[in-house]
C-alpha cells in the first residue's frame, strides 16, 4: 500500500512543514485530498526563506498577489514578465539558481525541471530582466553559418525549422495531455482519482464500479454508444 510523503523536520523560520521537492509536496496534497475530501485544498509553493517547499491554502495566483503587495520594491507589480501572476513569487529563487549555476549552458533547463515551470517562461523572465544575455560569440557564429546561399546556412535554417516544429509538437501534445481524462490510484491505493481539465473526482473502488454501471445504463437508455 502506498504511503504519503513524510515532511522533514522543519528548520524554516515559518515553522511550516518542509518537503524536499515539489513532487513530494504535491504527493502529500493528493494524500490530504483523499483522506480529507471536505478539507480546504492546499497548494505547494517554494519558500523564499529556505530551500524547501511548503503547503498553503492560498492558490499560486493569490500567493503571487500577496507577495507583490509585501514587496514595495517589486518593479513588476503583480505580474512578472514571463512568469505572470502564477510564478511571480518564484522570481528570487530563479535568479538565485541561475547565479548558482554561473550561467552555464543548460542551467535554465535545470531550473525549469527543478521548479516544474515551462522552460520558455523562465527564459523570457531572465532575458527581460537582463539576468541572462545571449552569448555574442554564438551570435556571430550563427551569422557566419547563415550566409546567403551557403549549404551551411541552408542546413542551419533546416535545423532551426525542425527544432521549431518539435517545439510546436511538444506544446500540442502538452495541450492534448492537459485536456485528456486521466484516472490514477489514490495515494493509499484504496480508490481512484479522476481528473479532467482542472476538475478532480475522488472515488472508492466500490463507488467507481457503481459509477461505471450507472453510466452504462444511462447511455443505453438514451441510445448513446460507449
Alpha helices in the chain (DSSP H): 22-35, 60-70, 91-100, 107-115, 119-128, 136-145, 151-179, 205-221
State what percent of residues in the chain have pLDDT above 70: 75
Is 70 exceeded by the pLDDT of residue 128?
yes
Residue-level pLDDT at 21: 83
Which residues, including other chains, have CB under 8 Å from residue 179's CB and lie 6 or more apart?
196, 197
Contact present, 10 and 16 (Cβ < 8 Å): yes
Per-residue pLDDT, averaged over 93-121, amounts to 85
Is 80 exceeded by the pLDDT of residue 96?
yes
Per-residue pLDDT, averaged over 51-58, amounts to 82
Cell 523572465 identifies what position? 125
Cell 492534448 identifies what position? 176
Residue-level pLDDT at 70: 42
∠ CA 33-88-15 to the nearest 5 degrees?
Answer: 55
Residue-level pLDDT at 4: 64
Per-residue pLDDT, averaged over 192-208, amounts to 86
Per-residue pLDDT, averaged over 123-129, amounts to 84
**pLDDT tens digits, residue range 66-82?**
544 444 444 334 467 77
Is 60 exceeded by the pLDDT of residue 200?
yes
Domain boundaries, the chain: 1-57, 58-133, 142-177, 181-226
Q: What is the DSSP letter of 90?
A: G
Q: Distance of alpha carbon 148 from its chain centroid, rounded?
A: 41
Is 60 exceeded by the pLDDT of residue 113?
yes
More confident residue, 2 or 42: 42
pLDDT band at 150 (very low <50, low <70, confident <90, very high): low
**What's this model's pTM, rounded to 2 decimal places?**
0.33
Amino acid at each position: 500500500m502506498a504511503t504519503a510523503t513524510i515532511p522533514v523536520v522543519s528548520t524554516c523560520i515559518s515553522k511550516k512543514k518542509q518537503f524536499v521537492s515539489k513532487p513530494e509536496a504535491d504527493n502529500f496534497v493528493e494524500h490530504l485530498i483523499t483522506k480529507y475530501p471536505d478539507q480546504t485544498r492546499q497548494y505547494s509553493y517554494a519558500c523564499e526563506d529556505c530551500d524547501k517547499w511548503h503547503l498553503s491554502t492560498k492558490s499560486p495566483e493569490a500567493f503571487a498577489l500577496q507577495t507583490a503587495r509585501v514587496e514595495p520594491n517589486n518593479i513588476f507589480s503583480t505580474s512578472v514578465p514571463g512568469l505572470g501572476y502564477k510564478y511571480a513569487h518564484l522570481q528570487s529563487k530563479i535568479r538565485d539558481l541561475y547565479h548558482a549555476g554561473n550561467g552555464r549552458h543548460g542551467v535554465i533547463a535545470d531550473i525549469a525541471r527543478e521548479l516544474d515551470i515551462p522552460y520558455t517562461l523562465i527564459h523570457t523572465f531572465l532575458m527581460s530582466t537582463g539576468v541572462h544575455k545571449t552569448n555574442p560569440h554564438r551570435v556571430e557564429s550563427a551569422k557566419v553559418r547563415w550566409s546567403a546561399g551557403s549549404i551551411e546556412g541552408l542546413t542551419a535554417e533546416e535545423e532551426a525549422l525542425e527544432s521549431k516544429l518539435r517545439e510546436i509538437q511538444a506544446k500540442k501534445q502538452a495541450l492534448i495531455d492537459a485536456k485528456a481524462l486521466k484516472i490514477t490510484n489514490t495515494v493509499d491505493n484504496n480508490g481512484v482519482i479522476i481528473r479532467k481539465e482542472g476538475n478532480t473526482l475522488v472515488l472508492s473502488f466500490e463507488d467507481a464500479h457503481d459509477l461505471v454501471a450507472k453510466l452504462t445504463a444511462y447511455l443505453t437508455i438514451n441510445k448513446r454508444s460507449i
